[in-house]
């Protein structure tokens, strides 16, 4: 059964501030930012635009928002740099593009899309990826643009806790990511994800976000997925592809498949995080196994919703 209208869902990562540290002002700022992002994607879909364009617009807005760990506001590697990963996938025919470990490109999701549209490749890194960005005329920014004091402080705290032997698992200090999934009025799905990765990661570490089938996936016949959390666990489980396979091969309803993978499988290997998963019939779930996940959704003709915990 096909849905009767569009659906858009977004996330701003599973690295939410613990409830006790969240002030009312800060909480309001997150909801307002998520609302602006939904509006950016929704305006594409209400004009009969493609799911692919809607997830691109939503993830660009998330990357531009310093509250979230992607683009401006990305976390720092252990040597104080930014290395960003991003991916995009079109549910029509499983076209995909992704970039890993890039720096300087204002909107990594646009570079992922350029890889998909301008090359024969799916995943690119290094100088070759930056050449594609230049050829596509994408905007570059200097280090100051990506810098936020809060992320810098998180890195210093992480390094100090490592040295003290007191490092804990607090997701709000360690990670975050942004992503979007959409179903358009023509019945097509798309997904996009973008991240600075994990605070204090080693240079060259690549997470799940740009790995098609791990942190990002879309196929019109099954689902669109964007994930956030401990990237290594999401790669080991190939989380997004696992949901697709449970639907396609196991005839499991999408909502059951997505919950089982996050609540059972991810927890079983000690991974924390969550995801947004949208089925071709418009069913949407946003499961997480940690304290919260910045998230929101809007349906054709409906009012936008945003949630944190």
- Closest approach of ligand ASP to the CB of residue 3, in Å: 27
Which residues are 145's β-sheet partners? none
- Closest approach of ligand ASP to the CB of residue 197, in Å: 4
In angstroms, the CA 101 to CA 85 distance is 6
Binding to ligand ASP (CB under 6 A) within 41-80 occurs at none
Asked whether the beta carbons of 100 and 126 are under 8 A apart, the reply is no
Set 77, 158, 177, 216: catalytic member: 177
Residues whose CB is less than 8 angstroms from the CB of residue 49 and which lie 6 or more positions away in sequence, other chains included: 184
Considering the rule CB under 6 A, would residue 208 count as an interface residue with ligand ASP?
yes
> Which residue among 12, 41, 108, 207 contacts ligand ASP (CB under 6 A)?
207
In angstroms, the CA 150 to CA 173 distance is 9
Tell me the site size for ligand ASP, rule CB under 6 A: 16
Residue 303 has phi, psi (to 5 degrees) of -95, 145
> Which residue among 194, 209, 289, 306 contacts ligand ASP (CB under 6 A)?
209
Scanning 124-132, 195-203, 259-267, 279-287 for contacts with ligand ASP by CB under 6 A, the matching segment is 195-203
Q: Where are the alpha helices (DSSP H) in the chain?
A: 24-46, 51-64, 108-118, 126-135, 143-146, 149-164, 171-174, 231-237, 239-248, 254-259, 267-268
Considering the rule CB under 6 A, would residue 295 count as an interface residue with ligand ASP?
no
In angstroms, the CA 192 to CA 89 distance is 6
Binding to ligand ASP (CB under 6 A) within 131-190 occurs at 175-177
- Degrees, nearest 5: CA angle 170-112-105: 75
127 is catalytic: no
Binding to ligand ASP (CB under 6 A) within 215-234 occurs at 215, 228-229, 231
Binding to ligand ASP (CB under 6 A) within 12-31 occurs at 13-15
Catalytically active residues, by annotation: 177
Task: List residues near ligand ASP by CB under 6 A.
Answer: 13-15, 175-177, 195, 197-198, 207-209, 215, 228-229, 231
């Amino acid at each position: 059964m096909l849905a009767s209208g569009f659906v858009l869902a977004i996330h701003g990562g599973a690295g939410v501030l613990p409830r006790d540290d969240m002030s009312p002002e800060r909480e309001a700022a997150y909801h307002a930012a998520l609302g602006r992002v939904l509006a950016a994607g929704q305006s594409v879909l209400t004009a009969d635009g493609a799911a692919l364009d809607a997830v691109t617009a939503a993830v660009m807005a998330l990357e531009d928002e310093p509250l979230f760990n992607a683009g401006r506001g990305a976390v720092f590697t252990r040597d104080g740099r930014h290395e960003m990963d991003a991916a995009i996938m079109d549910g029509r025919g499983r076209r995909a593009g992704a970039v890993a470990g890039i720096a300087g490109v204002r909107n990594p999701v646009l570079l992922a899309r350029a890889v998909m549209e301008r090359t024969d490749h799916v995943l690119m890194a290094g100088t070759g990826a930056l050449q594609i960005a230049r050829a596509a005329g994408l905007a570059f920014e200097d280090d100051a643009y990506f810098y936020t004091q809060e992320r810098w402080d998180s890195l210093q705290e992480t390094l100090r806790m490592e040295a003290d032997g007191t490092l804990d698992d607090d997701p709000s200090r360690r990670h975050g990511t942004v992503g979007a999934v959409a179903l358009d009025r023509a019945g097509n799905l798309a997904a996009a994800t973008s991240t600075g990765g994990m605070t204090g990661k080693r240079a060259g570490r690549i997470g799940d976000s740009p790995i098609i089938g791990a942190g990002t996936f879309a196929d019109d016949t099954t689902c669109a997925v964007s994930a956030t959390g401990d990237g290594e666990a999401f790669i080991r489980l190939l989380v997004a592809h696992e949901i697709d396979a449970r639907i396609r091969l196991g005839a499991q309803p999408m909502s059951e498949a997505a919950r089982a993978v996050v609540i059972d499988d991810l927890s079983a290997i000690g991974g924390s995080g969550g995801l947004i998963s949208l089925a071709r019939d418009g069913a949407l779930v946003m499961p997480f196994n940690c304290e919260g996940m910045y998230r929101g959704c809007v349906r054709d003709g409906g009012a936008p919703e945003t949630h944190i915990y």
